[in-house]
Amino acid sequence: MSDFFLITVLTFDASVRICVPLIFASMAGLFAERSGVVDIGLEGKLLMSAFIAASAASVFGS
C-alpha cells in the first residue's frame, strides 16, 4: 500500500512539473486573444526555449 501511494504522489508531482510550461503558454495565448492579437507562434516559442535551455545546460554543464 505504501508503494502505491508513493508511486501515485511521484506521478502527480511529475505531471504538475511537466504541465507548468504548457499552462504558461496557454495563459499567454488567452491574454493575447483578449487583447485582440492572434499569436500563432506559441508552440514555436516553447520549442525554441526548450532548445536554448538544453543548449545552455550542455555548454555550461549545469
Give the start-to-end residue ranges of the domains of the chain. Answer: 2-60
33 vs 45: CA distance, rounded Å: 17
Per the confidence metrics, is the pTM higher than 0.85?
A: no
In order along the chain (62 residues), what is the average pLDDT of each group of 10 residues? 88 92 90 89 90 94 82
3 state SS of 1? coil
Task: Tell me what pLDDT residue 1 has.
Answer: 66
Hey, what's the cell of 9?
504522489
Hey, what's the cell of 5?
501511494
